[in-house]
Amino acid sequence: MIDPRTPVLVGGGQLNRREDPVEPVDLIVEAVRAAASDAEAPSLTRAIDSVRIVGMLSWRYRDPGLLVGERLGAAVRHTVYTGNGGSYPQALVNEAAEDIAAGRCDVVVVGGAEAWRTRMRLKREGRRPEWTVQDEALEPTAWHPDVPMRHPSEVAAGLDRPAHVYPLFESALRIAAGRTPEAHLDRISRLWARFSEVAEKNPHAWTPRAHSAEQIATPSASNRMISSPYPKLMNSNNSVEQSAAVIVCSAAAAERWGVPRDRWVFLASGAEAADAAAIAARPDLHRSRAIRAAAAAALIHAGLRVEDLGPVDLYSCFPSAVQVAAQEVGLADDDPARSLTVTGGLTFAGGPWNNYSTHAIASMLDAVRETGLPGLVTANSGYLTKHAVGVYGPRPTGPFARHRLEPDVRPIPIRLDHEGVGTLEAWTVRYDREGEPDRAMASIRTGDGARVLAASDSRAVIDHLTVTAAEGASVMVSGGSRFELV
């Protein structure tokens, strides 16, 4: 017997819209209908009582969940909308399962969409989309805020976007592992090649094409350098038109609406935790105490060891995110027998800003059904800042629980006004659109154990850091955020 309040995921829907573009909420509606079809219960859409939408960048809605419910003809009484953060898809599923178990909701949709490709095309043409504009007075039932990504130390150094910060983490990973730049590039290129092979077999991937490690590692006209050591094929691809949605409901509702038992996937446990919002405050740039804590709590509650896992999807905006999550969960990132993605990742399957992990969860449902093994999803916001984990299984393992954790970590002091000598800890070199290096950005440690984030526009510094493994080098910081090699 299964407790009727047991939360189950019964369907996942994914959509790529390459032609005849529509606005984001309509993409979500199509994904929800696909999820109900996946559950083999199309009429389930009428029973939806809560719609929880991941924050969208393509268009400004006030309460998109309300629009989705109206267009589906559902009597939605509860809506949620989030700010920016890629951990929100899994966090919203965790939250939905918690509410269902407590009897607060019965049938919940978690979903999102981006029509970024269309939005950017219209912008280039000087046009604005003719999409739904909601009354400014509207508000969702609940709102989750943006995950912070603009600490003054990051802004001052130009480390103001993921395409610069994650390469900095990559540098820290290489240095911690004691590898040469050449050996490390080979390793991460092979990792990303394996991800592309998964995307090639994924019917929902935006770019279902396998690439060799050499193709990924080698800069070219179509694979320009973005920020070392990452060329374009190691960056998330947000120029997509994608949506995904999953339906979470009580076991009683699944029975009532005729969802066959072989479509049910159980969320055994969920967990959320955060690292310091300011990257300079973290004890190490190649670690995440929050991922370690969240994954451990979720697995322990599910009664599982890492070795028991079947399918896995680690958040994959950049190679460094995968490597950090793998080491904290306890998975090898170079095991050819163990894929760390069920989609192909944000470069190849598609990176629809905050909503990637909804695609991962939808794909995980299929993977758990096919393998009969428990699976794990990690989702990430900001700069490895905020994390959500879900453990999925083909059968219930006990009551669902959601864990919200606060790792006890002593922050590193941040220096915003440092003047003087420091030691180079990690760095990246930014490239312009013509493929020329134009700025070095670095993490620097001071003699008293503090950290400075700084940049250099010096041609000598840029050229040196482009070709030299300079970890541990002495640097001179001036103006609080500019550095030169000593």
- Write out the DSSP string of 255-269: HHTT--GGG-EEEEE
- String of b and e for 424-447 (b: at least 16 CB within 10 Å)? bbbbbbbbeeeeebebbbbbbbbe
Distance of CA 269 to the CA centre of its chain: 19
SS3 state of residue 223: strand
420-485 CATH pick, 2.40.50.840, 1.10.3720.10, 2.40.30.30, 3.40.640.10: 2.40.50.840
A 10 A CB-CB count for 180 gives 10
Q: What angle do CA 468, 420, 153 make, to 5 degrees?
A: 80
Kindly report the three-state secondary structure assignment for every residue of 392-419. Answer: EECCCCCCCEEEECCCCCCCCCECCCCC
| Model pLDDT, residue 142 | 97
Q: Answer yes or no: are the C-beta atoms of 70 and 42 closer than 8 Å.
A: no
End-to-end CA distance of the chain: 70
| Model pLDDT, residue 345 | 98
Q: Report strand pairing: 142-144 vs 78-82.
A: parallel
Q: What is the pTM of this model?
A: 0.98
Q: Domain 7-149+238-404 carries which CATH code?
A: 3.40.47.10
| Model pLDDT, residue 1 | 85
Q: Could you tell me the mean pLDDT of each successive run of 10 residues in the chain, 486 residues long? A: 96 96 97 98 98 98 98 98 98 98 98 97 96 97 97 97 98 98 98 98 98 98 97 98 98 98 98 98 98 98 98 98 98 95 98 98 98 98 98 96 94 96 98 96 97 98 97 97 97
Q: Which two tokens stand for residue 248?
A: 């979470």
Q: Give me the residue spans of the domains in the chain.
A: 7-149+238-404, 420-485
Q: Cβ contacts of residue 307 below 8 Å, gap of 6+?
A: none
Q: Which two tokens stand for residue 451?
A: 């950290």
